[in-house]
Every structure is written in C-alpha cells, then in structure tokens.
C-alpha cells in the first residue's frame, strides 16, 4: 500500500518569485546555449546553476526547505527554462518527475525521507528507466539485499545525478529503486555515448550495471514488491513524463519565437512589394507572426489545462478510478 501526501498549491507570492528566478536562469542559459550545445559537454555547471538558484527542491514542503509547489506548478518552471535551453529543461523536467516516484510507489516513510533529503541537500535526480532497444536491468535477491545486473541505452541525467530512480525486473515483475550515487556507485558504468542531433546536453547516454549491491530499503514499496498490478493512481507515473515533454516542447517554441522576433527587429527586411520599409511593418511578416503567436498561446492554454487535470488526479489520491485516470491522461494527450 502506498499513500501520496497531496500538496496544496504554493502561495501566489512564492510562485511568482520562483518563476521570476526561472526566467533569470533561462536568460543566463540562453546567452551560451549554442556554444554549449556545440561543445556537447556533460551539463554539470548547468545543474549547479539550477541548484544555486533553489530550483531543484521546489516541490518539497516549505517546512522541509522547499517551495511547496505541486506538480502542475513545477512544470511551469520547466517551460520557462526551455525558453533559454531546451536540453536543461529536459533535465529539470525529468528531475521533477523522478522526485515524485517515491510518493507513488514507495511507502509513506520512504517518500517522506526522500522528500526531506531532497529539500535539505538540493539533490539532482536522474533516471535509468527507459527500456528502449530491448535493454533491461534485472534485480536478484542476495541475502538481505539484492544484486542488480544489465544495461540501458537511454538514461537521462544518470551520469550527472546525485540520486537515481531506476526500474528493474524482480521475480517477473517491475520494481522501482531509489539510489544515492554521489561519489560513484560500485558496479555502475556510465557509457558517455550520447551524441545526438538536438537535446545534446541531456546526459542521455547508456549505462551498464554489473553485480551492483542494492540494499533492501532502496527498493520502493514493501515485500513482496511484485505480484499485483499497479493501481490507476500509480500509473499516473507515465503522465508525469508526458506533461514534462509538453512543457519543455512548449517552452522551446516560445523561446524560438522570441529569438525570431528579436532577429526580425534587428536584421529583417521588408518584402519588396509590401509597401513598407521595416520588416516589423510588413503585413506578410505580421500575418506570420500573428499565426505563430496564436498557435503557441493556444498550446499554452492546453498545457495549463493538462497540468490542472493531472494535479486534480494526483490530489484525489490512491482511490483514483480508472475513468478518472483516463480523463487526466486524455487532457495531456490533447496538449
């Protein structure tokens, strides 16, 4: 049995302050985004920038040292960061989703302990979960703990993470692990093989795990861990990721428009038959701008609606029905 402690929305003043901080961080990232993308280095400095500005612990309760954001509010930060650097928005969006997994699958004590730890120590969370390419991790029992073996080809934030959320097969079922990897973890090898076109700084390379020791309390939930299907409430884990994607895609579009508008103001030329001298007065340019802005703003409204729908489902708690879960999922698919 698991229980999620629902979080009321953060106060308006706190929300405003944190979003203003996110805007400043996005502006700083924007200045060097192209150069850093070309360099394709591990995003350690960028993660430290997020940490220094108290953006990693926004979802934790105020009394623990966080900002008290619910998930719908946290993805607003993701969207703003994406306006300056879409790769770093990918990382923080995944981070916000990773930190909620213990609340869905862990015991109340596990979820509370990780929340306190995340708030106090401002941890950055990566993940080893995506089984693309048929890769898998297998957990086997070993005395009073476990051993983990296998590989994954796509693990965003894993080599730069302080804490990792990991999925693995155990006794024919799926379990979630939460692992502190600060200072390294014996048995884990990060392959540093992410060389993508776009999203180059998401630290999404592969990982190989050989005979890594996993302690019993690092497996989320209670014995026997497997043997029952996840509840509709627990399956909200997937919409968390989907809403993260919605918001960093949207923020990327907003940032691209802002860059395009700046370029048009400073370098653009009016079409020769437009009858005007400046690009900003060109009716053809204005029509295109209007169409793009209306599309992005409509997408933002759908994204906000999707966030509200997921948050309502989360706030309903473990008694969430299949139909209620579906309503939240559909709102995100529509966005």
Q: Residue 95 is encoded by which pair of tokens?
A: 């981070």
Statement to judge: residues 302 and 314 lie in one domain: yes
Is residue 81 one of the residues assigned to a domain?
A: yes
Task: Please give the model's pTM, rounded to 2 decimal places.
Answer: 0.94
What's the pLDDT at 289?
A: 95
Is residue 144 one of the residues assigned to a domain?
A: yes
Cα separations in angstroms, 185 against 38, 66, 145, 158, 208: 30, 27, 16, 12, 12
- CA–CA dist 40, 31 (Å, integer): 16
Is residue 33 one of the residues assigned to a domain?
A: yes
Is residue 189 one of the residues assigned to a domain?
A: yes
Statement to judge: residues 63 and 136 lie in one domain: no
Q: Which long-range contacts (CB under 8 A, 24 or more apart) does 275-278 make?
A: none
What's the pLDDT at 5?
A: 44
Statement to judge: residues 305 and 315 lie in one domain: yes
Q: pLDDT band at 133, cuts 50/70/90?
A: low
List of residues 6+ apart from 264 with CB closer than 8 A: 279, 280, 285, 289
- CA–CA dist 118, 54 (Å, integer): 11
Statement to judge: residues 18 and 120 lie in one domain: yes
Is residue 259 one of the residues assigned to a domain?
A: yes
- CA–CA dist 49, 149 (Å, integer): 33
- CA–CA dist 141, 6 (Å, integer): 33
Statement to judge: residues 211 and 295 lie in one domain: no
List of residues 6+ apart from 51 with CB closer than 8 A: 122, 124
Cα separations in angstroms, 162 against 26, 178, 239: 22, 11, 24
Nearest Cα to 292, choosing from 262, 322, 253?
Answer: 253
With vertex at residue 65, the alpha carbon angle to CA 62 and CA 69, rounded to the nearest 5 degrees, is 45
Q: Please give the share of the chain, as a percent, with pLDDT higher than 90.
A: 84
What's the pLDDT at 10?
A: 78
Statement to judge: residues 65 and 136 lie in one domain: no
| pLDDT for residue 1 is more than 50 | no
Among residues 124, 158, 188, which one ends one of the domains?
124
pLDDT in tens, 82-116: 999 999 999 999 999 999 999 999 999 999 999 99
Please report, for the domain that includes residue 211, its CATH number: 2.40.110.10
Statement to judge: residues 242 and 330 lie in one domain: yes
What's the pLDDT at 193?
A: 85
Please report, for the domain that includes residue 253, its CATH number: 1.20.140.10
Among residues 84, 104, 124, which one ends one of the domains?
124
Among residues 77, 99, 124, which one ends one of the domains?
124
* DSSP bridge partners of 141: 146
Statement to judge: residues 300 and 317 lie in one domain: yes
Is residue 184 one of the residues assigned to a domain?
A: yes
pLDDT in tens, 160-213: 999 999 999 999 899 999 999 998 999 999 988 888 788 888 888 899 999 999
Statement to judge: residues 192 and 263 lie in one domain: no
Mean pLDDT, residues 263-279: 91
Statement to judge: residues 16 and 120 lie in one domain: yes
Could you tell me if 243 and 310 are in contact, meaning their C-beta atoms sit under 8 angstroms apart? yes
Statement to judge: residues 44 and 88 lie in one domain: yes
Greater model confidence, 152 or 12 = 152
Statement to judge: residues 180 and 265 lie in one domain: no
pLDDT in tens, 278-325: 999 999 999 999 999 999 999 999 999 999 999 999 999 999 999 999
Mean pLDDT, the chain, whole residue set: 94
CA atoms within 13 A on the CB side of 221: 18
Cα radius of gyration (the chain): 21
Please count the helices (runs of H) and the strands (runs of E) in the chain.
Answer: 9, 7
Q: Residue 327 is encoded by which pair of tokens?
A: 């309503």
How many distinct structural domains can be found in the chain?
3
What's the pLDDT at 248?
A: 96
Q: Which range marks the domain in which residue 118 is found?
A: 12-124
Please report, for the domain that includes residue 37, its CATH number: 1.10.540.10
- CA–CA dist 266, 117 (Å, integer): 48
- CA–CA dist 55, 89 (Å, integer): 11
Is residue 327 one of the residues assigned to a domain?
A: yes
- CA–CA dist 1, 4 (Å, integer): 10
């Amino acid at each position: 049995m698991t229980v999620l402690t629902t979080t009321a929305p953060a106060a308006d003043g706190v929300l405003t302050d944190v979003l203003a901080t996110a805007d400043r961080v996005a502006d700083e990232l924007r200045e060097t985004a192209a150069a850093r993308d070309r360099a394709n280095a591990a995003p350690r400095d960028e993660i430290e920038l997020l940490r220094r500005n108290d953006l990693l612990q926004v979802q934790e309760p105020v009394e623990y040292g966080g900002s008290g954001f619910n998930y719908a509010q946290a993805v607003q930060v993701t969207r703003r960061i994406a306006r300056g650097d879409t790769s770093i928005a990918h990382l923080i969006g995944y981070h916000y989703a990773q930190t909620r997994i213990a609340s869905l699958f862990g015991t109340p004590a596990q979820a509370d302990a990780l929340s306190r730890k995340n708030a106090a120590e401002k941890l950055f969370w990566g993940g080893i979960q995506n089984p693309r390419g048929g890769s898998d991790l297998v957990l086997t029992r070993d005395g009073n703990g476990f051993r983990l073996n296998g590989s994954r080809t796509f693990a965003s934030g894993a080599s730069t993470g302080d804490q990792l959320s990991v999925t693995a097969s155990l006794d024919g079922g799926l379990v979630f692990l939460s692992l502190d990897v600060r200072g390294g973890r014996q048995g884990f090898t990060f392959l540093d093989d992410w060389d993508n076109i776009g999203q180059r700084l998401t630290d999404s390379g592969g990982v190989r795990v050989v005979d890594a020791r996993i302690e019993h309390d690092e497996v989320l939930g209670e014995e026997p861990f497997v043997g029952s299907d996840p509840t509709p409430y627990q399956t909200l884990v997937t919409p968390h990721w989907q809403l993260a994607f919605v918001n960093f895609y949207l923020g990327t579009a907003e940032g691209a428009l802002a860059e395009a508008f700046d370029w048009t103001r400073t370098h653009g030329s009016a079409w020769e038959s437009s009858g005007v001298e400046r690009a900003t007065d060109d009716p053809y340019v204005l029509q295109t701008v209007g169409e793009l802005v209306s599309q992005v703003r409509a997408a933002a409204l759908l994204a906000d609606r999707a966030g509200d729908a997921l948050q309502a489902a989360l706030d309903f708690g473990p008694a969430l029905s299949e139909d209620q879960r579906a309503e939240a999922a559909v709102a995100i698919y529509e966005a």
